[in-house]
Amino acid sequence: MNWYDKLNQYFPVEEMKSREHMDLLLKEKKDIYKKDESEYHVLMYVEAKDFIFIDYLFVSKKARGKGIGKKLLDKLKQRNKPIILEVEPVDYEDTDTEKRQRFYKREGFEHAKSIGYRRRSLDTGEINEMEILYWSPTNESEESIYNKMRQTYETIHTYKDEELYGESYEETDKVFSFEEKDEKARPEA
């Protein structure tokens, strides 16, 4: 089974980019859009100058519990940049959502509580609400994470969307919201 089929079988249709979209990103955005794969995993990510965004992380059921996901994250953490990802909210009817959130929490990821993220699926028309998780070696602020997510949405998620899907994704300001919370004073890095 090829890398795209693995992702397509695992991730909900609302979260999947088309194969054409991903191939185009790998070709035309190859300086920042990367693929790391083996028989047991597929990792699609963006490596910008000052952060990493994990687009998709898949570890096959056969290999779960063997530390592959942890090793992949550790490899990214060694680059000493904030790592950001989108994850489905916990759905107690879908145990995978809870396991995924526990895994990222164990790996030191925090939930960006100030960031709202609601995107309409071009495939189903449904509103898909996601949570933003992040890991930061420099105690990055949620406002900074918010700005990096907006950048990712504009350069990756909506890349040539009208050409690829026949319509555009919603404007960035309709998809993201930022609610300032009383965060504890963060030490400067």
Structural domain includes residue 12: yes
Question: Confidence band (pLDDT; 50, 70, 90) for 65?
Answer: confident
Q: What's the CATH number where 143 sits?
A: 3.40.630.30
In this prediction, residue 95 carries a pLDDT of 57
Structural domain includes residue 91: yes
Q: Percent of the chain scored above 90 by pLDDT?
A: 77
In this prediction, residue 75 carries a pLDDT of 98
Residue 185: is its pLDDT beyond 50? no
Residue 186: is its pLDDT beyond 60? no
Question: Confidence band (pLDDT; 50, 70, 90) for 90?
Answer: low
Structural domain includes residue 78: yes
Structural domain includes residue 187: no
pTM: 0.92
Question: Confidence band (pLDDT; 50, 70, 90) for 91?
Answer: low
> Which region among 64-68, 80-84, 93-97, 175-179 has the lowest average model confidence (pLDDT)?
93-97
Listed as own residue / partner, the contacts of 15-19 with beta carbons closer than 8 Å and 24 or more positions apart are 15/86, 15/88, 15/128, 15/130, 16/123, 17/55, 17/157, 18/164, 18/165
Structural domain includes residue 155: yes
How many domains would you assign to the chain?
Answer: 1
Distance between CA atoms of residues 77 and 145, nearest Å: 16
Structural domain includes residue 35: yes
CA dihedral 19, 23, 28, 32 (to 10 degrees): 90
What is the average per-residue pLDDT within 70-78? 98
Structural domain includes residue 188: no
Residue 114: is its pLDDT beyond 50? yes
Question: Confidence band (pLDDT; 50, 70, 90) for 143?
Answer: very high
Domain that holds residue 54: 3-178
Are 55 and 45 a contacting pair, CB within 8 Å? yes
Structural domain includes residue 80: yes
- Sign of the dihedral defined by the CA atoms of residues 41, 23, 9, 17, in that order: positive
In this prediction, residue 99 carries a pLDDT of 84
